[in-house]
Amino acid sequence: MVKVKKFEFKNFELNHRKSPMSIGVDSMLLGAWGSDLFNFKNAIDIGCGCGILAFMIAQKNSNAKILGIDIDEQAIVEANENLNNQKQFSNVSFKQIDIKTFITNDKFDFIISNPPYFSTQKSTQSPVLKRANARHNETLTLQTLFDFIAKNLSDNGKAALILPYQEFEWVQKTVQRLSLYFHKLTVVKPTEFKPVNRFLFIIGKENKFPEVDSIVLRNLDNTYTDQYKTLTKDFHSK
């Protein structure tokens, strides 16, 4: 078995061997993009894996209470191991919770998630069950996630997500049906000459005109663009 090395950030490092999905560009994008959008008192990271998003937003929001949840036991074990190695993050906690059965009286000021988004009808499911659960939306459907957001987001709260661009039309209709509104939208292109393949977005209950922009990840020589470097400069160690 190939060992996955620790992922090194400027201010912390994370193991991501036990979590079904290792750290990737989607999480880096979402964490950097959503880490300092506004001041919030409490937040939840849904499908937290090894804890990357929780730690990234905690770096910029040291006074906020941040909860990471995941259905996978080993993901939570690893997230808590990472937490024990990062003494500066006393405001972060992780619990094994399935949001389909999660009942809370709390309203969250900030909800962040890099959810499983592949459908088994649209892609070949991973033969490894845990990796399949992390990548495919059978254990956490987008509908379940959006219903949770609509029910548990505070009146002035915001939710930040990243999804494949092919889901944009569905998201538009779902946001409207749930009486939510786009606050910010960033479309993502792998390179300048490739089509958009991801979109980052902020939604909330407040009706406002959304900010819209774009980001290109890589130059033609496969190096990261200045846009990406600027976005992630507070986190990338290199």
| Position with higher pLDDT, 236 vs 75 | 75
Q: Is the pLDDT of residue 120 over 80?
A: no
34-51 mean pLDDT: 89
**Residue 16 one-letter amino acid:** H
| 18-232: CATH number | 3.40.50.150
* Angle, CA of 154, 50 and 72, to the nearest 5°: 80
Give per-residue pLDDT as tens, 105-118.
Answer: 889 999 999 998 64
Q: Tell me, what's the pLDDT at 187?
A: 98
DSSP conformational letter for 66: E
Give domain limits for the chain.
18-232
What's the whole-number mean pLDDT along residues 21-37? 88
CB-based contacts of 99, cutoff 8 Å, min separation 6:
46, 69, 140, 144, 145, 148
- What is the pLDDT at residue 116? 83
Residues whose CB is less than 8 angstroms from the CB of residue 201 and which lie 6 or more positions away in sequence, other chains included: 160, 161, 162, 163, 171, 182, 184, 185, 186
Whether residue 193 is predicted with pLDDT greater than 90 in this model: the reply is yes
> Which tens digit of pLDDT belongs to each residue from 207-219?
999 999 999 999 9
Contact 35, 60 (CB under 8 A): yes
Q: What confidence tier does 138 reach under pLDDT thresholds 50, 70, 90?
A: low
Is-contact 201 174, C-beta < 8 A? Answer: no
